[in-house]
Structure 1
């Protein structure tokens, strides 16, 4: 039986966090070590983490991605092939920012982006950028279906004092494992939401220096889809930094996807849905005339800063902290492992970066268990 040599541990491997990294690790372990007992714990009520797709009638068969939405570096992005394996459709329509379908001031947008993004190490892989028609969140959650999972289980303490087992305390009782893989967000680690006994100060410090920034999305339904051009990218304003970017009718759907980041995203999230709707309406009206407001209403909106078990969108490195991604990713005592987009040196902030760290952690876990049967 799996785990019969585990000195009292209930599971061989417990994975904390059912986002892209946790799911990827679980599926990899299932493939290479089918003898292991694996359990995935998720504090929220769904699989996918920061990948979350919702359906709306006005979008037809297109899902709206409230989290990650683009298969960046699509030709080498592992999720591209997985989409086909799980029966989803990858739409290879070129991203509007790569195909020339923009509405204004490309040079200003590019210049502004280069002032706020660190390109030195970021490398999502060779383009283009594609989309999953049924949603990136749908893809990741569907890939996780074969994994034994418990939802609504919030881990509060990891006790690794004993050589033969790791004790895990949760809001639904305790369990034990031989190995634990932690894939929760850096904001949750930094806030001490999971206590380690003995403490792991180097992990917490790395998490503090690799916090989550904020990007939110607002989807607007469009009453008359002919009012706006299809699959077009638009920058809201070049006269101020606090502006949104807009995907007009993505994949031809009768919606507008508004994207807000940084301080603007924090402000609009605090002020609520109506404030975000008013802001987007103002920027679209400036481009298309005041009558466009009559065509718009709110279809869906994200609020990632307030997401109770996540607390933001994706990680960034504070000045001088980029090397701490490696510190965060390093296993502790070959029994506690870490994965997630924040652990990726070059593909941080992406779902495929998270996937790659999950697979890498799974391979290390398999090696550790082979050495310590």
Structure 2
């Protein structure tokens, strides 16, 4: 990885006590999890968030009176997801209906016989992963050469992992698959709304304040921002792997191993768009269709979620990449074309663009969620390691099995906060001992 060649004035020893006990860099689900764990500690906690809002990749926007999740939307593994308890304790409604994924409304464009064949292809591929995983650890190497449903399997990988099977570690994929409980619920007010509302009021917050550089000194850490320098006894980096591996934050050369681990856990591409249903149209609530099961870049469409007059289009991997490059107008046009091919040309008149995400274009996030490259599943543990009991790392990518989820991010924030608390207690005992010796 590229080292920082320029010495920053932040790398000089601190002359005074730190401003804060713990500085949390990043206000997504991981940062909020860390802040909640630290809330009762009595320590001075500051959160720095680059955006003008809290939530990170959990983002609910309100358009036309509708709460739309442009980021994560489902409480995955909901029967053990901590956000469920947080939601209910805070008065949020949790919808426990089963998702319509895997269904094809009225068999449109994807007959039952074809779905059965596609399901068998998926099951065969998955069986190979578990019983005879390829030595390469590359999920694509378990595909049947020339298999008639390989494009379908690639589409599913894009939607689930944000990347094609060539980029996917088998060991990493199975770690998530084995841990998932397959329970998926929804916060009706929006996942992003829930995350943003869960930051403790005792946490000092500076929005629109991106960290520009993190440096080490004898007393802790120094963090450069456009608004000035912040000092802390410790810091929790709760930012995406794209940020850690990139140039958005200058890091000391001593953290090159962490930057390398982040580079082995790139963010996949997943994007959402919402179409408003104007009038009636042939769209039944809580139904689902796959646009074209023979296209690796197809969109998946959730119709009237929670009864709302919208269609949520979800694109992953190859499809999300094409949308990011072509822009939202092209994405809306593709979605309408795929829906018209299934429901008939008349539906064009009752579909109106509402909103679209652009996660891969965000400099301070850089994509959807992480996947391990083949041979690099262990990078998650490498990235989660503390550095000198001063820097701690959180984020969905640092979770060993619940990566790519908001609850995995939350739990990683709690873990990093506990590590920081333990380290600060040790330092306090050590300092007390030194004073007594004097």
- TM score, norm. by length of structure 1: 0.92
Q: Does 1:40 align with 2:47?
A: yes
Give 1:88's aligned residue. Answer: 92
CA deviation after TM superposition for structure 1 residue 7, in Å: 5.8
Give 2:28's aligned residue. Answer: 19
CA deviation after TM superposition for structure 1 residue 334, in Å: 0.7
Counterpart-to-counterpart distance in 1, 2:43 and 2:329: 49
Runs of 5+ unmatched residues, structure 2: 1-14, 123-152, 158-163, 429-438
Aligned counterpart for 1:9 among listed residues 13, 18, 26: 18
Give 2:245's aligned residue. Answer: 190
**1:1-373 to 2 correspondence within 5 Å?**
8-31=17-40, 33=41, 35-57=42-64, 59=66, 63-97=67-101, 103=107, 104=110, 105-107=114-116, 110=119, 111=122, 112=153, 113=156, 116=165, 118=170, 119-123=173-177, 125-144=180-199, 146=201, 147-160=203-216, 162-373=217-428
Contact (CA 8 Å) 1:222, 1:296: kept in 2 or not?
yes
Contact (CA 8 Å) 1:212, 1:316: kept in 2 or not?
yes
CA deviation after TM superposition for structure 1 residue 169, in Å: 0.8
Q: Secondary structure at the match of 2:276?
A: strand
Runs of 5+ unmatched residues, structure 1: 1-5
Contact (CA 8 Å) 1:96, 1:102: kept in 2 or not?
no
Contact (CA 8 Å) 1:121, 1:346: kept in 2 or not?
yes
Counterpart-to-counterpart distance in 2, 1:86 and 1:310: 28
CA deviation after TM superposition for structure 1 residue 198, in Å: 4.5
Counterpart-to-counterpart distance in 2, 1:80 and 1:264: 31
Which protein shows a greater Rg? 2
Contact (CA 8 Å) 1:183, 1:340: kept in 2 or not?
yes
Contact (CA 8 Å) 1:58, 1:253: kept in 2 or not?
no
Counterpart-to-counterpart distance in 2, 1:239 and 1:361: 43
CA deviation after TM superposition for structure 1 residue 232, in Å: 0.9
Counterpart-to-counterpart distance in 2, 1:273 and 1:91: 30
Q: Secondary structure at the match of 1:12?
A: strand
Q: Deviations over 1:141-200 (max 9, x none)?
A: 00015232100111111111x221311111211010000100111011111222223431
Q: Deviations over 1:108-129 (max 9, x none)?
A: 6653136836531114532320
Q: Secondary structure at the match of 2:321?
A: helix
Contact (CA 8 Å) 1:58, 1:254: kept in 2 or not?
no
Gap change, CA 1:108 and 1:277, over 3 Å in 2:
farther
Q: Name the count of aligned residue pairs.
A: 362
Contact (CA 8 Å) 2:29, 2:195: kept in 1 or not?
yes
Gap change, CA 1:27 and 1:58, over 3 Å in 2:
closer
Counterpart-to-counterpart distance in 1, 2:378 and 2:294: 35
Counterpart-to-counterpart distance in 2, 1:107 and 1:179: 54
Counterpart-to-counterpart distance in 2, 1:227 and 1:56: 23
The CA RMSD over aligned residues, in Å, is 1.9
Counterpart-to-counterpart distance in 1, 2:375 and 2:48: 33
Q: Which is helix-richer, 1 or 2?
A: 2
- TM score, norm. by length of structure 2: 0.79
